[in-house]
């Protein structure tokens, strides 16, 4: 490989060992890497219904790593068009002023005003203009579980912007349905709640096969069926951990010159790497494995 995307070190070695054209697993977002499950498809249909019906706020909840951020990005990619405004923003680590500045820039404000009052004026005017022209406006807001109180109040204010009976729809992602518990009045402003579930074993197996095929190999040459079943069992179907454990198995097998990867190797990699993760993860996974 050459050019700006050339890979070196461990990544290059394991790709060469397996004959893969690109890393099939990992955390990097790309629309083509989103794996559409029946749960995600149903969640998209419900979110679209909420937008077309003019709902103010939808809450997407689920366990950490279940794919809420990827779903929001994919949803906006599906929704955004010349006739619809769609934006993705995260609240993680953002003050109210920084978040408003990022939203203003996405709305096309070239030089966002400095003060929160002027920022709000610019943002609200552009959103209300879209409402007046019957242009749907969707704000996908990630990590609301960690948002500071002043930012929660700003989200509530955004949900109330109305012109000609239309207003923006906020699609929010948080770890649980109690995200806004005690954070009135926004807690009562959620019109719809959608829970993203972990993948089933069948979905994990389909995902692993799909990604390996996309990278240029036959799945049976990389993972045995027992290996894929163990990945599903040990990760509880949490997409983030499915991706991570699958990639670590590719790396470990390349280093040990083992192929295809079998169930025993998956368990060895899991024991070697996941024992170093935090206690909360170990406890939750122990419950999943024993259930």
DSSP per-residue codes, 5-47: T---HHHHHHHHHHT-SS-SSSS---GGG----HHHHHHHHHH
Residue 212: predicted pLDDT: 97
Residue 174 forms part of a structural domain: yes
Residue 284: predicted pLDDT: 52
Over the chain, what is the mean pLDDT?
85
Share of the chain above pLDDT 90, in %: 53
- Residues β-bridged to residue 90: 142
Q: Provide the CATH number for the domain around residue 136.
A: 3.40.50.300
121 with 164, same domain: the answer is yes
Of residues 62 and 6, the one with the higher pLDDT is 62
Give the list of residues 6+ apart from residue 136 with CB closer than 8 angstroms, or none: 51, 52, 79, 83, 84, 85, 130, 169
46 with 132, same domain: the answer is yes
Residue 273: predicted pLDDT: 83
167 with 213, same domain: the answer is no
71 with 187, same domain: the answer is yes
Please identify, among 163, 178, 195, the residue that sits at the C-terminal boundary of a domain.
195
Strands 57-61 and 192-195: parallel
Share of the chain above pLDDT 70, in %: 87
- Enclosing domain of residue 161: 38-195
Please identify, among 195, 218, 248, the residue that sits at the C-terminal boundary of a domain.
195
Residue 237: predicted pLDDT: 95
pLDDT beyond 60 at 214: yes
Residue 3: predicted pLDDT: 38
Residue 21 forms part of a structural domain: no
**Separation CA 75–CA 59 (nearest Å):** 13
pLDDT beyond 60 at 275: yes
| Number of residues that make up the chain | 291
Residue 288 has a CB neighbour count (10 Å cut-off) of 15
């Amino acid at each position: 490989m050459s050019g700006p995307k050339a890979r070196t070190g461990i990544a290059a070695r394991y790709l060469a060992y397996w004959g893969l054209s690109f890393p099939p697993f990992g955390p990097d977002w790309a629309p083509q890497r989103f794996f559409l499950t029946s749960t995600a498809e149903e969640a998209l249909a419900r979110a679209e219904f909420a937008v077309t019906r003019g709902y103010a706020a939808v809450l997407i909840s689920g366990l950490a790593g279940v794919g809420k951020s990827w779903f929001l990005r994919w949803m906006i990619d599906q929704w955004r068009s010349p006739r619809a405004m769609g934006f993705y923003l995260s609240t993680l680590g953002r003050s109210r002023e920084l978040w408003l500045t990022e939203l203003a820039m996405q709305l096309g404000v070239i030089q966002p005003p400095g003060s929160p009052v002027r920022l709000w004026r610019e943002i609200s005017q552009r959103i209300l203009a879209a409402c007046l022209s019957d242009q749907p406006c969707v704000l996908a807001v990630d990590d609301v579980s960690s948002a500071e109180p002043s930012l929660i109040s700003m989200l509530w204010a955004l949900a109330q912007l109305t012109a000609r009976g239309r207003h923006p729809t906020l699609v929010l992602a948080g770890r649980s349905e109690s995200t806004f518990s005690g954070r009135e009045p926004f807690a009562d402003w959620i019109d719809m709640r959608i829970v993203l579930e972990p993948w089933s074993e069948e979905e994990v197996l389909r995902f692993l096969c799909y990604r390996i095929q996309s990278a240029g190999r036959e799945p049976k040459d990389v993972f045995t069926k027992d290996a894929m079943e163990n990945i599903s069992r040990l990760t509880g179907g949490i997409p983030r951990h499915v991706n991570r454990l699958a990639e670590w198995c590719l790396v470990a097998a390349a280093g040990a010159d083992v192929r295809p990867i079998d169930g025993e190797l998956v368990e060895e990699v899991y024991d070697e790497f996941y024992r170093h993760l935090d206690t909360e993860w170990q406890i939750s996974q122990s419950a999943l494995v024993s259930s």
